[in-house]
Amino acid sequence: MRVGMFLRNSGPPSTREIITGCAEAADKMGIDDLWVLDHIAIPPDDAEGSGGRYVDPLATLAFAAGITRTVRLGVSVLIAPYRAALPTAKWLASIQELSDGRLCAGFGVGWMAAEFQALGVDRQKRGAITDDTLEVIVACFADDEVELNGQRFLFKPRPERPPVLIGGAAGNAIPRVVRYGDGWMPNSLDPDALKAPATELIAAMQAAGKSRPEIIPLSMLPLEDIGEGAERLAAFADAGATGIDHPGRYADVGEFCRNAERILEIKSRAGY
């Protein structure tokens, strides 16, 4: 059972100094995963907590790759319709190469109408755009030579494809995981609500001849109560989760480290 934390690339803690301190601490302490999030054009009315400050998630992961050695680095989740497919594939390959295979690529379709409007992207087509992007990414990591728009080209470096996890509700996410991905990142599901769709996904992946999926819900652990936290982590594991992404906030490196200590104690208490 993996335990992961947000590496905040938004708001006041998204400075070089704090990102560096938190990434290095997570690496040394044994946190399994660090996750960043994706926003690109927050309107002023929705900027509470972040002030509209968002460091690009892929740039943040590339930076973190250079100052860590063991922790897995992921995005929870990259909004596929916000970015052109081929440059996104190139970003992922480059981070995977330079991190020595420690990248995990979460993808989602997006939801915020204001961001789609700022980008000039038709929100109604976000599902189709996401599928097209995933098609390109899978193709790029499958062969050194790729053809797009009638043009052959070399895709190098071409490291092993990072795990592709799909965010979103089960009804839309599960078919995408089976077709393109390696796992699911549900949001705001408790263990009881996770069990049925997790079972469905595991069976669908098996039927498709694919490996057992990663299932990493985005969910807060109760850090103030280690026993309760251990029970919740174990309940997620029993429901089919292979890890958890704890999206807790922190103001500085010290608070991040205290949260990390509690998360690791919860993991130990739960027996993982």
**Terminal-to-terminal C-alpha distance of the chain:** 6
Dihedral of alpha carbons 94, 95, 100, 101, sign: negative
How much is the pLDDT for 233? 98
Residue 211: its H or E element: none
Q: Which of 15, 56, 59 is nearest to 39 (CA)?
A: 56
Q: What is the DSSP letter of 163?
A: P
Q: How is 27-75 classified by DSSP, letter by letter?
A: HHHT-SEEEE---S---GGG-TTTTT-B--HHHHHHHHHTT-SSSEEEE
Give the count of beta carbons closer than 10 Å to the beta carbon of residue 107: 27
Contact residues for 244 (Cβ-Cβ < 8 A; gap 6+): 1, 2, 3, 4, 216, 217, 219, 221, 233, 236
Q: What tokens were used for 179?
A: 């077709």
Which string of DSSP letters, residue by residue, matches 120-135?
T--GGGHHHHHHHHHH
Tell me the CB-side half-sphere exposure of residue 52, using CA atoms within 13 A: 7
Structural domains present in the chain: 2-270 (3.20.20.30)
Q: Tens digit of pLDDT per residue, the chain (272 long)?
A: 999 999 999 999 999 999 999 999 999 999 999 999 999 999 999 999 999 999 999 999 999 999 999 999 999 999 999 999 999 999 999 999 999 999 999 999 999 999 999 999 999 999 999 999 999 999 999 999 999 999 999 999 999 999 999 999 999 999 999 999 999 999 989 999 999 999 999 999 999 999 999 999 999 999 999 999 999 999 999 999 999 999 999 999 999 999 999 999 999 999 99
Q: What is the largest CA-CA distance in the chain?
A: 58
Q: What pLDDT does residue 66 have?
A: 98
- Provide the strand spans (E) within 168-207: 183-185
The pTM assigned to this predicted structure is 0.96
Give the model's pLDDT for residue 188.
83
